[in-house]
Structure 1
Amino acid sequence: MNDTPGWASPGSAPSGAKEPDSSGTPEPADQDGTTPPEQPSKWSKEQPPPGQWSAPGAQAPAQAPPPAAPGWGGRPPGGQNGGHGGWNGPGPGGPAGWGGQWGARPAAAKPGVIPLRPLGVGEILDGAVSTMRSYWRTVLGISLAVAVVTQVAVILLQGFVLDDSASTEALNDPSATLGELTRAMGDTLLSSGLVLLVTLLGTIVATALLTSVTSRAVIGKPVTTGEAWRDARPQLAKLFGLTLLLPLIAVAVLGAGAAPGLLVVAAGSNEAGVALAVLGAFAAGFVALWLMIRFSLASPALMLEKQGIVKSMRRSAKLVRGSWWRVFGIQLLATIIANIVASIIVIPFAVLAAALSGDGFAGFLDSSGGDLGWTFLIVSGVGSVIGSMITFPITAGVTVLLYIDRRIRREALDLDLARAAGLQGYGGETSGTTPGS
């Protein structure tokens, strides 16, 4: 034990007096005035002034505990010791007489919808919902405008351009010739492709605008629709190219996996070729899924870092590296939640549309019914608008917050976000990457 005054054992007697008894009170000298021979002391000759220390288990009434230092329990002001190495004693429930509380790690700052630290799955989902709730005028305004424009375009395409019931009848006719089936399949693929393209364009615009809103919501700064548009407009063309490129990559991978089996079929071995094609496409599907998750954060990287298409894909691959399963699970969970919410809204409107249309509900259940008319298209379109208005912010918000979480874990982005939010002295003693990366 160190014999310096600051490390003397609690309860020591001052020099020249007898050691205290079990009650902690020094015994008086002998009545005849003689002093017994002094026993060799095991304690330091330099002791704290009386009343400075209290015996373990009883707090001295005249000595108030030193104030706890903020943060991790640093040394209290005034030169008093707050425990070993500046740590304060245990808090409520711990041994009495040590005063103060163990210093706890300070809570992360939360200037916006998320705390500035690595996020959990629930915090990512809650952040997306909180963004929609806190900035509902901007978020729902953007989602509603994009959903209305997109759905109006889809209804007009289905009502005027793609209203060809002959193709549907040919596909359901067992006696149809090969030419009729080929033409019907081509028309169906064309109509589905046009609807998908219009929906994709709407999704791109909504994602671009909501990315800007969510990134500002993280630091507690609202943004108007006009500001979000001015911020996102220069990157829209690149975002469109990225959104088209990723499905093309997936299709190319699937085609490469099925190509050997198709070549075998072309050579005349139908059964073996079909089995090989199915097996190859199945294996290629895993590769395509791995690539899509690897590049799933390219969209926020492109929008927030003002990167090009290829550089944003590289950034996404770097951020996802080492955490593929976590990113996959969160994206899958968000997709399931968004689809469930959309189905809860869209299905009742589709049933109502079928009931109000000319063929009635029986025609809706009959897959060969073909054209259900304008009533069905309009009523079901209203349900699709409402569903998209709610699901757009969820999917876009989760992707942006997942991107921010990966950057916090790998690059300590929370320090930059704190400075952007105007927090003074946040993370001043922290260096390097955030723990948990």
Structure 2
Amino acid sequence: MNDTPGWASPGSAASDGDNQGVPRPAEPADPQDAPASKWSKDQPPAGQWSAPGAQGTGRQQPPPHGPGPGHPQWGGGPASGPPRGGWGGGWGGPPQAAKPGVIPLRPLGVGEILDGAVSTMRAHWRTVLGISLTVAMVTEIIVVLLQGLVLDSQGSTDALSDPNATVDELSRALGNSLIETGVVLLISLLGTFVVTALLTMVTSRAVLGKSVTSAEAWHDARPQLPRLLGLTFLLPLLAGLVVGLCMLPGILIAAAAGSDAGFALALLGALAGAGLAVWLMVRFSLSSPALMLEKQSIRKSLGRSAKLVKGSWWRVFGIQLLAAILVNVVVSIIVIPFTFLAVALSGDGVSGFLGTGGGDVGWTFLIVSGIGSVIGSMLAFPITAGVTVLLYIDLRIRREALDLELVRAAGLSGPAAGTPGAGPGS
């Protein structure tokens, strides 16, 4: 983004764990290296000072601010309770990280990433929910119209569940089901593409404590939309290609010999391909924010994601899996009641919904269940997109000291502006 220079790619700076060239605050100088004239001659004897809070060394450390009541060695009553603060009695805690927006500018914990995604939705609800609601409504209307007017989902279900159906009927029904699934997936990908583009910009501004309208988010995202569209379709195609290649030997053996060994080999290939596809999808899962915020090409954004995830694959996978589970639980809580309401309002009731009554689910069922899907998607889109963007920011803070750039971009000054945040998240 134009007003956040910290988003720019660091170029040759390290994403592989090497922090050379990263602008960190200077370390305190060694007293022995300083000119002798700048140091007092009255220095404490060597070995008389211990680390704050150290015990069992045989020496007592004087309090840094002089004697006070309650100290057992300097008069007053007995000490009451342990020393305050984690750095020993009388010492202040570690410096607090700057927090201009929805997250503190330091390495984040799992809870902070999830909370940051929800806080973005709460703090900028007009923009976030407006974008999500618009996209969810448009995609769901298209899906309902296709299911009601074009796609014959009920006929395919009846044929697949009929034990007396011929091979031709089963093949036709299976083909129709695959076409229907593909069309719905295509529309979902287009909706995800638009939401990812806009909400990435909203979340990146929310990190800096800046608000953004839908029009501003669109203006910032527009130059990268063609590349993001290509990336959106490239990733699922890549996953499908990996699974297909792993299944290919088993399919060829089954086609040539017609033996059960070929089908077993194809099944094992599918399992191996699914595992490899998951590994690749997690490895490239941060390519969308890299492409949008760093203005990268598709190839370079995939490389950036791979570098950032390297060494943190299990952490990224775990956080994204946890976010997906939480989102699906929330969506299910919303969608399931609407589904039962749609079943109750439709003409054929439960038997029509289960396909045992011989009727069609009808427009009532499609519309009412579609309303539930819109509400669920409206809440799911911001959390999913927010977690991905905040994971990207967290890994860049850990690898490239992005927190210092973001502090400067947020216009903060004072101690927090030049000090990395303490207490890194797990």
TM-score bucket (shorter structure): 0.7 to 0.9
Contact 2:97 2:106 in 1 (8 A): yes
Establish whether residue 403 from structure 1 lines up as the match of residue 392 from structure 2.
yes
TM-score of the two chains, using structure 1 as the length reference: 0.76
* Aligned counterpart, 1:220: 209
Contact 2:193 2:232 in 1 (8 A): yes
* Aligned counterpart, 2:227: 238
Structure 2, unpaired ranges of 5+: 1-39, 47-65
Contact 1:91 1:102 in 2 (8 A): no
**CA–CA separation in structure 2 for the residues paired with 1:268 and 1:151:** 45
* Aligned counterpart, 1:45: none
1:304 to 293, 311, 316: 293
Contact 1:418 1:426 in 2 (8 A): no
* Aligned counterpart, 2:137: 148
Establish whether residue 421 from structure 1 lines up as the match of residue 403 from structure 2.
no
Contact 2:98 2:416 in 1 (8 A): no
**CA–CA separation in structure 1 for the residues paired with 2:112 and 2:358:** 46
Contact 1:300 1:400 in 2 (8 A): yes
* Aligned counterpart, 1:38: none
Change (3 A) 1:368 1:299: farther
Change (3 A) 1:300 1:261: same
2:73 to 57, 79, 90: 57
Contact 1:114 1:123 in 2 (8 A): yes
Q: Who wins on radius of gyration, i.e. which is larger? A: 1
* Aligned counterpart, 2:370: 381
For residues 384-406 of structure 1, what are the alpha-carbon distances to aligned partners after superposition, in whole Å with 9 as ceiling and x for unaligned? 01001111111000000000000
* Aligned counterpart, 2:113: 124
- Give the AA of the match of 2:253: V
C-alpha displacement at 1:429, in angstroms?
A: 5.6
* Aligned counterpart, 2:179: 190
Contact 2:108 2:425 in 1 (8 A): no
Establish whether residue 276 from structure 1 lines up as the match of residue 265 from structure 2.
yes
C-alpha displacement at 1:56, in angstroms?
A: 7.8
**CA–CA separation in structure 2 for the residues paired with 1:222 and 1:152:** 30
Change (3 A) 1:407 1:387: same
C-alpha displacement at 1:58, in angstroms?
A: 2.2
C-alpha displacement at 1:6, in angstroms?
A: 4.7
Contact 2:243 2:270 in 1 (8 A): yes
For residues 186-242 of structure 1, what are the alpha-carbon distances to aligned partners after superposition, in whole Å with 9 as ceiling and x for unaligned? 111112211111121111111111111011000100100110111112222211211
Map 1:301-380; keep pairs closer than 5 Å: 301-366=290-355, 369=358, 371-380=360-369
Contact 1:353 1:380 in 2 (8 A): yes
**CA–CA separation in structure 2 for the residues paired with 1:429 and 1:347:** 50
C-alpha displacement at 1:153, in angstroms?
A: 0.8
C-alpha displacement at 1:172, in angstroms?
A: 2.4
Establish whether residue 139 from structure 1 lines up as the match of residue 176 from structure 2.
no
For residues 153-207 of structure 1, what are the alpha-carbon distances to aligned partners after superposition, in whole Å with 9 as ceiling and x for unaligned? 1111111111464333322222322222222211111122111111211111111
Worse-superposed segment, 171-180 or 297-306? 171-180
Establish whether residue 392 from structure 1 lines up as the match of residue 393 from structure 2.
no
Aligned to 1:7, what secondary structure does the other structure show? Answer: coil
Map 1:66-81; keep pairs closer than 5 Å: none
Contact 1:415 1:426 in 2 (8 A): no
* Aligned counterpart, 2:95: 106
Contact 1:349 1:382 in 2 (8 A): yes
1:7 to 36, 39, 44: 44
Change (3 A) 1:282 1:8: closer
- Give the AA of the match of 1:7: P
**CA–CA separation in structure 1 for the residues paired with 2:308 and 2:413:** 28
For residues 381-433 of structure 1, what are the alpha-carbon distances to aligned partners after superposition, in whole Å with 9 as ceiling and x for unaligned? 110010011111110000000000000000000011101110125566669xx
**CA–CA separation in structure 2 for the residues paired with 1:428 and 1:165:** 61
Structure 1, unpaired ranges of 5+: 10-51, 61-89
**CA–CA separation in structure 2 for the residues paired with 1:357 and 1:390:** 26
1:285 to 270, 274, 277: 274
Change (3 A) 1:428 1:108: closer
For residues 292-350 of structure 1, what are the alpha-carbon distances to aligned partners after superposition, in whole Å with 9 as ceiling and x for unaligned? 10000011111111111111100000000000000000000000011111100001001
Change (3 A) 1:153 1:91: farther
C-alpha displacement at 1:435, in angstroms?
A: 7.6
Map 1:89-104; keep pairs closer than 5 Å: 93-94=82-83, 101-104=90-93
Change (3 A) 1:373 1:105: same
- Give the AA of the match of 1:156: L
Change (3 A) 1:142 1:428: closer
Greater RCO (Cα-Cα under 8 Å, separation 6 or more):
2
**CA–CA separation in structure 1 for the residues paired with 2:341 and 2:417:** 59
C-alpha displacement at 1:270, in angstroms?
A: 1.4
Percent identity between the aligned chains? 66
Contact 2:351 2:357 in 1 (8 A): no
1:169 to 158, 172, 184: 158
**CA–CA separation in structure 2 for the residues paired with 1:406 and 1:364:** 46
- Give the AA of the match of 2:268: L
**CA–CA separation in structure 2 for the residues paired with 1:352 and 1:179:** 36
